Copies of this chain bind each other. A is one copy, B any other.
């Protein structure tokens, strides 16, 4: 009996398992870290996305970058606004567009969270060699781009 699995790399089965667990466990892990700050993973991803641009991000850009549909973003932003973490500003060049910006409170919260996460991560990274750390960065970055490209293609289709 010809089994298609025979053609796979020997590491593939193992890594599919690891990456499935990683997706789930890292979500629970981040969720748990965010608990004390009273924000959720989608809100965290959104805050990070907003922080990348100094002059504000439109709802549709946010929607694209966070891979969430517009009505979903509307809800997330509404909650972030009500907590005083972001604010809406009209775009002078197009009156249909609303720009979203971090408030000072939002910036402060985001950097507190990031700092905490860095400290936790640093402890783990100390258990790796320099070479391992650098190769991890390289490989995960490529893997991320791989998934992001795939997701964009799905969207187009």
Number of interface residues of A (CB under 8 A): 61
A26 near B19: Cβ-Cβ < 8 Å: yes
A22 near B124: Cβ-Cβ < 8 Å: no
CB < 8 Å neighbour of A139 from B28, B122, B128 = B128
Q: A20-B44, A41-B23 are in contact. Are A121 and B29 (CB under 8 A)?
A: no
A44 CB to nearest chain B CB (Å): 7
The interface residues of chain B lying within 8 Å CB-to-CB of A28 are 67, 147, 151
A10-18, A75-83, A85-93, A94-102 - the one binding chain B: A10-18
* Shortest Cβ distance from A139 into B: residue: B136
Can you report 9 residue pairs joining A to B where beta carbons are below 8 Å apart?
A5-B115, A9-B122, A9-B126, A11-B134, A15-B136, A23-B27, A24-B45, A32-B151, A128-B139
